[in-house]
A and B are shown apart, each in its own frame.
Chain A
Amino acid sequence: MVSVNTLISITTVVFGLASLLLISKARSRLSRGSIREYVDNFSICLAFILIFSLWQTGRTIFGREISISELAGYPELIFIAFAYTGFILVSYRLFKISKEFGFKEEGRGIERIIKGRKKR
């Protein structure tokens, strides 16, 4: 009988793999540039999360058989720490992209000029 824990772990891994597949498909459609670099960074973070989930699933299925003495929990922590470090970098990149590609300020400025002209 498969436990709920195992079922959830396997589902998480399947979702993670599906996400990576979708991202790699999306990447292949993009030409080089800021957006593709963002996708690259995001894929790395996702890969770490996926490894984390895989490790955890392995532990759930095999108990502590794959552990090296009592250190089985540490790799998980390392993977998740790498993933979150990556997410910080990705968020910063996204912040930079929004600064460069966002035109709201310029749009407002143009709207002000047009309104100013109409008033005159």
Chain B
Amino acid sequence: MAEAKALFRKEVSNLRDYVVLVIVDAKKYQQTNVELIKFLVKEQKIPGVYVTLNKPYEAILRTFEDNDIDTRLIIFIDAVTSSIGQAKKAKNCLYIGSPEKLSDISVAMDQAVKALPKEKFVFFDSINTLAIFNKPVTVARFVHFLAEKMREWKIKGIIISLEKGINDALMDELTTLADSRIDVGGS
């Protein structure tokens, strides 16, 4: 399953900073994420920020470690694991508590990105979960903010979205905002 990696490599080979939208089939979702992170951390040796709205940090950590990815180079922002009250930090992960706390996610991302050395990535996983927990207008506004910020930070930005479960208008918006769109395993 090197399809995602090959497509990604092809798309970004000539770009230094970018915002790439990866549309992935649900069946290939986990494998695609692993492949892309492997490419960034293992091959390109770039540190970065992984924002998860889908799977808890512990699960992602296990998957990455099983795939021989050096997780010490990644700062995790976990908005899935519910934490009572305020945000909590453990090791290299900040638990936000809920995917609805968009302001906290934004502040955490900004702080994490600015703490990292010059060349870095931000992996946003995924837009679908945002759409489940927030109003369409809020999601659209956040997506705009995210793309704008990724450009301002001059980083390698990857936004993951599942093929299904996101409306056409938002998908078009996302595609317009990104430098490139990669479709893995679907239409």
- Spell out A's residues near B (CB within 8 Å): 30-37, 96-97, 99-104, 106-111, 113-114, 117
Contacts and interface: CB of A to CB of B under 8 A. Distances in A.
Interface in B48-90: 70, 72-73, 75, 86-89
B100 A100 contact: no
B108 A113 contact: no
B96 interface: yes
Interface string B113-127: 011110000000000
Contacts of A102: 111, 115
Nearest to B116: A107
Contacts of B47: 110, 114
B143 interface: no
A100 B111 CA distance: 10
B72 A113 contact: yes
Interface residues of B, number: 29
A107 B117 contact: yes
A34 B87 contact: yes
Nearest to A104: B115
Nearest to B47: A110
23 contacts: A31-B102, A33-B96, A33-B103, A33-B104, A34-B86, A35-B103, A37-B86, A100-B94, A101-B94, A103-B111, A103-B115, A104-B115, A106-B75, A107-B112, A107-B114, A107-B117, A110-B73, A110-B117, A111-B116, A111-B117, A113-B73, A114-B73, A114-B117
A112 B28 CA distance: 34
Given A35-B104, A101-B94, A117 B86 contact: no
B164 interface: no
B45 interface: yes
Given A100-B94, A101-B107, A110-B47, A33 B116 contact: no
Contact of A96 (B86, B102, B107, B114): B86
A119 to B, nearest CB: 14
B157 interface: no
Nearest to B120: A110
A46 B73 CA distance: 42
Contacts of B107: 35, 101
A34 B92 CA distance: 19
Nearest to B138: A31
A103 B94 CA distance: 9
A36 B105 CA distance: 12
A25 to B, nearest CB: 14
Nearest to A30: B103
A104 B115 CA distance: 5
Contacts of A34: 86-87, 101, 104
Given A33-B104, A101-B104, A106-B75, 5 more contacts: A101-B107, A103-B112, A103-B114, A107-B116, A110-B73
